[in-house]
Amino acid sequence: MSKTVEKLDDVVIRFAGDSGDGMQLTGTQFTNTTALAGNDLSTLPDYPAEIRAPAGTLFGVSSFQLRFSSWDILTPGDHPDVLVSMNPAALKVHLKDLKAGGMILVNTDAFDDKNLELAGFKSNPLTDDSLTNFRVIEVPITKLTLNALQGVGLTQKEMVRCKNFFALGLMYWMYSRTTESTEKWIKEKFGKDPKIEEANTKALKAGYYYGDTTEAFASRFEVKPAQLKPGLYRNITGNEATALGLVAAGQKAGIPLYYASYPITPASDILHNLSMYKNFGVKTFQAEDEIAAAGAAIGASYAGNLAVTGTSGPGAALKSESISLGIMLELPLVIIDVQRGGPSTGLPTKTEQSDLLFVTYGRHGEAPAPVIAASTPADCFNMAYEAARIAVKYMTPVYLLTDGYLANGSEPWLLPDAKDLPPIPVHFRTDPENFQPYARNENDVRPWAIPGVPGLEHRIGGLEKQNITGNVSYDPDNHDEMVRLRAQKVKGIAKDIPLQEVYGDQSGEMLVVSWGGTFGSVRSTVERLRRSHHKVSHAHLRYLNPFPRNLGEVLKNFEKIFVPEINLGQLAKLLKSEFLVPVIQFNKVRGLPLRSTELEKAIIESLGGSK
C-alpha cells in the first residue's frame, strides 16, 4: 500500500515519556539517523534531576526535542510540530508548547485511570474533546509491541520496555527514514544479549511496518537534506566537543592532557569522554572533591601538563580559592564551567547563564582571569582549544563557560583537519643562565619552569612575590606593582583575540549583544527581523574578559543596545560598567533556551515599532 509523501522544510519533534521510558535514547537515535540523512539539526534534551522519578508523575517526565530542516538552522525550535507522548503526564507537561494544529502521537495503553490521575487529568483528554485543536493519532503502542514480541522469550516487563523502539520505528516511517543505523546500533549495544537485541529490532521494525499498513496515516513526510557547507560531518554534543577540543590542544601543544574533576551535572560527560582517550596519553583524575580537582590540576600544570578542571556552578564556587592560587602562581590552567540553574543545587539538569559575573569576579583579592564562552555545541571544540591556547601562552588560569543546553544539545559539526588547527607552542625554560621565576616577556608572561630541570630549582607560592625573583615579599610598593602586572597581563590578551564582528549593518538603530549558548535563538531572531526590514544587527561575544578591543567602538555605532540573557542581566552589567552605555535588558531565567518568538516580540517593542 503506497501513501503520498508530503514535502516539508522544517520539523520539530518532541519525544516525551517517563524517565524510564528511554526518551533520551529514542531522541538520540532519531538525531543520528537524521544527521546521516543530511538534514541540519539542533537538539534539546530535557530530563529530571531524579534518576528514576516515580512512574507516571509529572515531575518524572523526560523529553528530547529535535529540530531538523533542509536549511541551516540555529535553534531546536520553540514549539514542536509533533509531540510523541508515551503517557498522560508527558501530554500534560508538554501540550502547552505544541504548535496550534500540531500532531500528537499517543500511546493509548498508558492512558488508564491510574496514569490519568497521576497526571492530574480529571477526565481522559483523548475522549473529552479537549484536544480538538490538534491532530491526535492514537496508537496502542504497548499492546502492539507485546504482540510483535511474542515468542522472543522475554518476560512481559522486558517486552514492555521495548516500546520506545516501536515509537521510534513509527516516527522513522513517518519521516521517510530508514531503520538501518538504529539496527546497527542495537546490534553493537545489545549484541551480547541476543534476546534483547532481537526484541528491540523487532519492535523497531514493527513500528515502521505499522505506519505502512495502518489507516491512521494518510501520508508520510520528507525533509530534504540541507545545503550545508561541503565537507565531512558528524553530529556532536557540546560536552563531546569540549573533550575533543582539549585532546586536540594537548596533541598540538605536545604535552599530556591532564583532566582533574569531580562528578557534577551537567559537566560529567567531559570526564567520561576524556577517560576513553587514554591512548592519547590523557590522564584523568577523579578527585575526592571539587577543591582537590582544582588542586591536582594546579599541581599537574606546575609539573608541565596541560591541566584542566571541569565543573558546574557549585563546583566553580568551591574551586575559587584554588584559582586565586593559580593566578598568583601564574600557571596555565583551564577551568570549564558548564553552567546550570542556580543558586545552590538549583536546577541541576537545566541551562542558565548565571555564572558570568561569578567567574569574572568571584575570587578574593585582585584576581583577574580571562573568560571565554562557547556559542553552539560544536563551538565548544573551538573554545576549549582556544582556552588552552590562551592559558599556555599567558601562563594563566582561563575560564571556559558553556552551559547545560550546549553540553547536551547537539548539531552537525563540519570536522576540522588536525593539521589546520593553529599551533600551541610550549616553551619550557631549560636554561639556568639568568633564570628568574617572575621575569616577564613582552606579553608580561613569566617562564614555565617545571621540576626535573637541573639548575632551575625555585620556590613559588601563594604569598606575594617580589617582582622578577619570585621570593616572598611584603613590600607595599612591590605588592602594588605585582597587582598591576597581573591585571595588565590579562588585559593585554585583548590584542591576541579576534575583533568583534557584527552581523548585519555595522551601525544603525539597534545592536543585539549576546554571549554563550543563546547564539542560536538570538541570531535566528535577528535574521528573521532583518528579513522583515527591521534595523537591527547582532554581535555575539565569545570573549568576555578581556572584551574584544573594538567592542567599545562597535557599541557606539548603534542607538540602542539590547542584551538578552538567561540571567538577570550579567553581561548587561559588565557592558554598562565597562563602556558606560545604556542597555535594554531582556531576561528569562526559566532553565531553558530563550524562545525566538518572545525575543522577537521584545526587540520589536524596544524598536518602538519602527522599521
Partner 1 sequence: MATINENVPTKKYTAKDFASDQDVRWCPGCGDYSILAQVQRILPELDVPKEKHVFISGIGCSSRFPYYMEAYGVHGIHGRAPAIASGVKTANPELTVWVATGDGDSLSIGGNHFIHALRRNIGLKILMFNNRIYGLTKGQYSPTSELGKKTKSTPYGTVDYPFNPVQLALGAAGTFVARSMDRDPKHLQQILLRAARHNGTSFVEIYQNCNVFNDGAFEILTEKETKLDNVVYLENGKPLVFGKENDKGIRLNVFTPEVVSLKDGKWSVNDLLVYNESSFDLAVLLATFSERAGFPTPVGVFYQVEKKSYEEMMTEQIETVVKKRGAGDLDKLLKSGNTWIVSAN
Residues in a beta bridge with 219: 4
Between residues 378 and 583, which has the closer beta carbon with respect to partner 1? 378
Q: Which of 54, 120, 425, 455 binds partner 1 (CB under 8 A)?
A: 455
Cross-strand partners of 428: 448
Q: How far is the CB of 464 from partner 1 (least distance, A)?
A: 11
Q: Could you say which of 321, 464, 527, 578 contacts partner 1 (CB under 8 A)?
A: 321
- Closest approach of Cβ 365 to partner 1, in Å? 12
Site residues for partner 1, 401-440, by CB under 8 A, read: 415-419
Binding of partner 1 by 300 (CB under 8 A): yes
| Nearest to 427, CA basis, from 443, 407, 412, 409 | 443
Q: Does 322 bind partner 1 (CB under 8 A)?
A: yes
Amino acid identity of residue 140, one-letter, is P
Site for partner 1 in 561-590 (CB under 8 A): none
Q: Give the nearer residue to partner 1 in terms of CB position, either 33 or 570.
A: 33
Cβ 231 to partner 1 shortest distance, Å: 6
**What is the Cα–Cα distance from 411 to 406, expressed in whole angstroms?**
10
Residue 155 burial by Cβ neighbours in a 10 Å radius (0-12, 13-18, 19+): exposed
User: Are the C-beta atoms of 447 and 468 separated by less than 8 Å?
Assistant: no
Indicate which single residue of 451, 484, 506, 559 sits in contact with partner 1 (rule: CB under 8 A): 451
Of the residues 146, 329, 372, 572, which one makes contact with partner 1 according to CB under 8 A: 329
The rounded distance, in Å, linking the Cα atoms of 239 and 270 is 5
Q: How far is the CB of 416 from partner 1 (least distance, A)?
A: 6
Site for partner 1 in 63-92 (CB under 8 A): none
Minimum distance, C-beta of residue 256 to partner 1, in the bound complex (Å): 7
Which of 281, 552 has the CB closer to partner 1? 281
Measured CA to CA, the distance from residue 380 to residue 517 in angstroms comes to 10
Answer yes or no whether residue 231 interacts with partner 1 by CB under 8 A.
yes
What are the CA-CA distances from residue 148 to residues 166, 192, 203, 242 (Å)? 9, 22, 6, 41
Residue 365, sorted as left (phi over 0), alpha (psi -120 to 50) or beta, turns out to be: left
Q: Which of 131, 137, 347, 456 binds partner 1 (CB under 8 A)?
A: 456
Return the residues of window 210-229 that contact partner 1 according to CB under 8 A. 225, 228-229
CB 96 within 8 A of CB 111: no
120 binds partner 1 (CB under 8 A): no
Interface residue with partner 1, options 79, 283, 491, 576 (CB under 8 A): 283
* E-strand stretches of 303-452: 306-311, 333-339, 371-373, 397-403, 410-414
CA distance 579 to 493: 18
With binding defined as CB under 8 A, does residue 325 bind partner 1?
A: yes
Max CA pair span of the chain: 89
Cβ closest to partner 1, residue 226 vs residue 563: 226
Which of 459, 495, 531, 533 forms a contact with partner 1 (CB under 8 A)? 459
Which residues are bridge partners to 41 per DSSP?
68
Evaluate whether 535 touches 607 at the Cβ level (below 8 Å): yes
Measure the CA–CA gap between 196 and 64, rounded to whole angstroms.
24
| CB-nearer residue toward partner 1: 148 or 317 | 317
Under rule CB under 8 A, residue 49 binds partner 1: no
Which of 299, 346, 508, 569 binds partner 1 (CB under 8 A)? It is 299
Closest alpha carbon to 548 in 601, 493, 474, 509 = 493
* Least gap, CB of 189 to partner 1 (angstroms): 14
CB of 474 to partner 1, least distance (A): 11
Please say which residue, 457 or 480, places its beta carbon nearer to partner 1: 457
Which one of 106, 110, 248, 384 is in contact with partner 1 (CB under 8 A)? 248
Nearest approach, Cβ of residue 176 and partner 1 (Å): 17
Q: Which residue in the set 279, 344, 577, 610 belongs to the binding site for partner 1 (CB under 8 A)?
A: 279
Q: Supply the minimum distance, in Å, between the C-beta of residue 138 and partner 1.
A: 33
- Which one of 290-298, 346-354, 517-525, 547-555 is the stretch in contact with partner 1 (CB under 8 A)? 290-298
Within positions 168 to 187, which residues make up the interface with partner 1, using CB under 8 A? Answer: 181
Instruction: Please give the Cα distance from 541 to 554 (Å, whole number).
Output: 12
CB 177 → partner 1: shortest distance, Å? 14
Grouping H, G, I as helix, E, B as strand and the rest as coil, residue 127 is coil
Q: What's the Cα-to-Cα distance from 371 to each of 239, 271, 326, 547, rounded to whole Å?
A: 18, 21, 15, 9
Direct distance between the N- and C-terminal alpha carbons of the chain, in angstroms, rounded to an integer = 52
Q: Give the integer Cα–Cα distance in Å for 47 and 22.
A: 11
Residue 232 is a binding residue for partner 1 (CB under 8 A): yes
Binding track, positions 541-560, relative to partner 1; x by CB under 8 A? --------------------
**458 is a contact residue toward partner 1 (CB under 8 A):** yes
Kind of pairing, strands 40-46 and 61-69? antiparallel
Specify the residue for cell string 600544570. Answer: 301
Among 70, 301, 521, 570, which residue sits at the site for partner 1 (rule: CB under 8 A)?
301
Cα separation, 77 vs 12, in Å, equals 6
Is there a contact between 366 and 311 (Cβ–Cβ < 8 Å)?
Answer: no
287 scored as a contact of partner 1 (CB under 8 A): yes
34-42, 56-64, 541-549, 570-578 -> range binding partner 1 (CB under 8 A): 34-42
Ordered DSSP codes for 146-188:
HHHTTTS---HHHHHTTHHHHHHHHHHHHTT--SHHHHHHHHH
Q: Please, what is the minimum distance in Å from the beta carbon of residue 179 to partner 1?
A: 15
Find the binder of partner 1 among 291, 485, 487, 589 (CB under 8 A).
291
Are 467 and 364 in contact by the 8 Å Cβ rule? The answer is: no
Is residue 351 within the footprint of partner 1 (CB under 8 A)? no
Going residue by residue from 462 to 501, which x/- string records binding to partner 1, judged by CB under 8 A? xx-------xx-----------------------------
**CA distance linking residue 297 with residue 335, whole number of Å:** 9
- What is the size of the binding site for partner 1 (CB under 8 A)? 73
If the CB atoms of residues 260 and 512 are measured against partner 1, the closer one turns out to be: 260
Contact call for residue 461 and partner 1 (CB under 8 A): yes
In the set 175, 210, 233, 399, which binds partner 1 (CB under 8 A)?
233
Find cell 508520510 and name the residue. Answer: 220
* Least Å from the CB of residue 375 to partner 1: 20
Q: Which of 562, 41, 48 is nearest to 347 (CA)?
A: 48
